Structures are given as structure tokens and as C-alpha cells.
A and B are shown apart, each in its own frame.
Chain A
Amino acid sequence: MNCKKVILELTSFRIDLEQHLARCSDCRVVVDTTRKTIQIFCNSEPVPLPEDVRKRLHTALLERFRRNSKTT
């Protein structure tokens, strides 16, 4: 989201939404845990690439590149 979008969102900013969250603990928990769900997935390190998969990838790419560059 860029600055312009944020400003545009302000026009539809719902005060009542914040007021509801302030007094409703259930909704606060849902919002908080949903935010954490996204953060946990975003912060998760990509699984290390198994070495055999990596080797196969590099070998296959080099092979196919060479073949393609010969036929180009």
C-alpha cells in the first residue's frame, strides 16, 4: 500500500470499529491472533533446499541452457 492509498482509506476510517475493539475482548483476540498468523508465516524461513534437489536443479538448468543456446 502506498501513501495515497493510506490517505484515501482515512476517509472511510471507521471510528466505531476502534470503539468496538476497545470494548470487545473476543474481537481483539481474533484480530490479534490473525495478525500473528500472518507474521508467523511471513517471518518463517524458507525451508532449506535439500542438497540433492539443489544439485539436480543446477545440473538440469545448465544442461537445458546449453541445449537451448546451441539451437538458438
Chain B
Amino acid sequence: MARALNFGCRPRAQILEPTSQHPLEQNSWPRLYHLQIGSSSRSNFIPLYVHPPLAYRPTPVSIGSPRKKGIIPDSPFSCNRVSLAENLLHPGGTLEHPIEELVNRYERKIFRLGMNITQNREDAEDVMQDAFLKSYQNLDRFQGDSRFYTWLVRIAVNEALMKLRKRRPNQVSLDEPLTQAEDPVFREIEDWGPSPEQRFAQTELNEILTQVIGDLDPIFRVVFTLRDVEGISTDETAHILGISVAAVKSRLLRARLKLRQKLNKYFRRSESQ
């Protein structure tokens, strides 16, 4: 791995130089570096396009005198959190909007997550906006012990749950006990055939999925979205929602069975034959 250029400040973030570059491209700009968040090997790497002005800058991009602060710059890239933020965010700055890269990569998934949980477009939009902003503002709290996306999802879920509770305070309680009265398992037993989803166009299928997941109670919807759609582990889901692992498993089972039952009317084999 190429030499890491540390920021010399609290956020555990560093810029990595390009690992390999074709000799003919060595002097071309902008040059692609990577911003590594966290120290774990699993941490995320955000592409960072660096333009000449920063690279050629003779003194460290830091506020105040580095010597007075006891910071010995190891490269022209040394900078503190404030100057990093300035560089990232100023339109004419030397770094070409890596935050935009981050947003572009995850915006659709975070919007889908917000829609799945809140079932409201305006709320989903707010969730997405707040999640990106908070994740960026709290970069220094990211420990690098989970994937960056999982961390972003955790923030987005908290935002979505807050929206949900605000909107329907009497209806949404994630820790309410489940009633055992209904048994969703064996109400309808009908085969779907090998690829039932292919009977529908993509937009039509999306509408069906949005509708059936929207019909679920929030306590099932949230668990299903986190575990099965986002692939968050059972432990992590329990941690995010503040419920027990047993409750996650139980709700996931019920959510899957309820969804299966709701999809029956669209996907059963007899519909197509």
C-alpha cells in the first residue's frame, strides 16, 4: 500500500496515495487519491480527486503554526479537520467534492431505506439529507470497526424512526410485545413457479413491492428492511432498534411470512396459467 498521509488530528481519516499509476499518467491531473476513514482494513475508501494547487502547496494546510501546535507535517497534505472541511466543500477548492462521490454512491439506497421505513416521500427526503449531513459531521466518531455504509444506515434508520414516531406517536412502538393470536404461516399455500418476478416489468414490480412492504406494521417493516434488504446482522439490528436478538428473529420470521402471504396474489402460479 502506498504511503499514508495522516491528517494529524482526531478524525481517523487519511489520504492514501495512488497505489499504482501508469508512468505516462504520473503528471496528469486531477490525480486520484483515496480518503480512508477509520483504521480497520474493512474501512471504506472514498475516491478523492486532487488538483495541482494543493499538491504544489509548499506549506501544510493547517491553521496556525504547525510548530507551535507541535504538529510536524509529514507532507504537503497534512491538514486539520477545519481545513479538510474547507477543501472538501468550497466549490473552487482543491479537492473535487469527494462528499459528492459519497452521496452519489449511496443516495438511492438511503432514499429506498427512508421510503421503506417511513412510507412517505417527504420524510424519506429529509432522512436522506440528515443522514448524509450527520455522517459527515460525525466522521470522527466513526470507529472503522464496521463498514461505512452500515454506519450510514444506522444514522439513517435512527432518523427514519424519529420521523415515524413523530408522525404516528400512538401507532409506532418498536418494543411492544407481539400478539400471538394470528398465525400467518399456513393461511395460503400456493406455489409461485421458478421466477415469478419476471412476469412484471421493473416499474410494476417496484410498485408491488412498495405496496406490500407499506402494508406491513412498522415493527415488521423496519426489521425486514434492515436484515433482509440491507443485510445488517441480527446483532446489529437489535442494537440499532434497541430490542433483543430474540425479538429481531421473531419479527423477521413474521415479516417474511406476512410478505410472502401478501405477494401470493401477484406471484401464484395459477395467475399466469
Please tell me if the beta carbons of A61 and B260 are within 8 angstroms of each other in the complex.
no
Please tell me if the beta carbons of A62 and B197 are within 8 angstroms of each other in the complex.
no
Residues of B within 8 A of A53 (CB): 111, 121, 125
Q: Is B206's beta carbon under 8 Å from chain A?
A: yes
Secondary structure dominating the interface of A:
helix
Give B231's nearest chain A residue, CB to CB: A42
Distance of A41 Cα from B224 Cα, bound (Å): 10
Chain A: minimal CB distance from B265 (Å): 12
Q: Is B256's beta carbon under 8 Å from chain A?
A: yes
* CB interface residues, A 50-64, toward B, < 8 Å: 53-54, 56-58, 60-62, 64
Interface size on A, residues (CB 8 A): 33
Chain A: minimal CB distance from B69 (Å): 17
Please tell me if the beta carbons of B82 and A41 are within 8 angstroms of each other in the complex.
no
Q: Which of B108, B189, B229 contacts A26 (CB 8 A)?
A: B189
* CB interface residues, B 72-102, toward A, < 8 Å: 81-82, 85-86, 88-91, 99-100
Q: A37-B259, A65-B99 are in contact. Are A42 and B229 (CB under 8 A)?
A: yes
Give A60's nearest chain B residue, CB to CB: B129
Q: Is B217's beta carbon under 8 Å from chain A?
A: no
* Interface range on chain B (Cβ under 8 Å from partner): 35 or more
Residues of A within 8 A of B86 (CB): 69
Please tell me if the beta carbons of A41 and B111 are within 8 angstroms of each other in the complex.
no
Q: Is B140's beta carbon under 8 Å from chain A?
A: no
Please tell me if the beta carbons of A29 and B259 are within 8 angstroms of each other in the complex.
no
Chain A: minimal CB distance from B169 (Å): 26
Please tell me if the beta carbons of B260 and A30 are within 8 angstroms of each other in the complex.
yes
Q: Is A44's beta carbon under 8 Å from chain B?
A: yes
Q: A65-B99, A69-B89 are in contact. Are A34 and B202 (CB under 8 A)?
A: no
Q: Is B109's beta carbon under 8 Å from chain A?
A: yes
Chain A interface residues toward B at CB < 8 A: 26, 29-30, 32-34, 36-38, 40-49, 53-54, 56-58, 60-62, 64-66, 68-69, 72
